[in-house]
Amino acid sequence: MPPIAIPFPEIDPIAFAIGPFAVRWYALAYVLGLLLGWWLCRRLIRAPQLWGRKPPLDDAGLDDFLVYIAVGVVLGGRLGYVLFYNLSYYIEHPTEAFRVWEGGMSFHGGLLGTILAMWVMARRRGIDVRELFDLAAAVVPIGLFFGRIANFVNGELWGRVTDVPWAMVFPNAGPDPRHPSQIYQAGLEGIVLFVVMMTLVRKGGLKRPGLAGGVFLIGYGIARIIGEFFRQPDVQIGFLAGGLTMGMILSLPMILVGIALVATAREPAKA
């Protein structure tokens, strides 16, 4: 162990309060991620040359899309956390499942909720759902970055015990120095994956429905599995068979689906 560990910065999880109404950094991360994602999506749909055809949404449609995505992310993310990570606890304390502001969200659950929301919108508007998935996939790393930073601010989802010089002692994680795995994941799932997606978009990735969505699934799955080697598993689950974690297991199907999407992505026939 290093003789001195970096102390965890004591950041108040409440960003600001107006009377009895408190706004937490965790909530701001979701809002900021959605708004920046909406802004970038608007730029993408206003550039038909990136699609090689008419973009799937106009400005008004994008506003509706944001609502669908927000509902899918919040409901799916919370339900996924309840089902995948802490079902027994919430069976005993069902009302606490609604306390989203206290943290406890599953990306994999949020992804499933988002896909369902996109499928509903695509059916209602007669749009190829792969195009909506591509549009969302291009900007999701923005939200992932801010979400992981919020995890760090909350002092949750800390890393495994380590002796690296930048190890931190997290509150409620015992006296041992640990990897700041939230920062690692913010870099991999946020910054690196965002660069990959933007490079793909510039190279014409949106011209083949399903390609951007598939690359995102593969990229996130790999980034998440790498991050899990440094992150301490949730105490109520721990390590699974073979030293795997729940995050690793849930990411493997993502990679397989992503490979299938990439393999079947084709440019639409010209009308």
Q: How far apart are CA 58 and CA 131, in angstroms?
A: 13
As a whole number of angstroms, the distance between CA 136 and CA 256 comes to: 19
Do 159 and 231 contact (CB within 8 A), yes or no? yes
Kindly report the number of other CB atoms within 10 A of residue 10's CB atom: 7
Whether 198 and 138 have beta carbons less than 8 Å apart is answered as yes
DSSP H or E run through 7: strand 6-7
- Is there a contact between 238 and 90 (Cβ–Cβ < 8 Å)? no
Tokens of 9: 């910065």
Q: Is 148 annotated as a binding residue?
A: yes
Residues belonging to the binding site are: 148
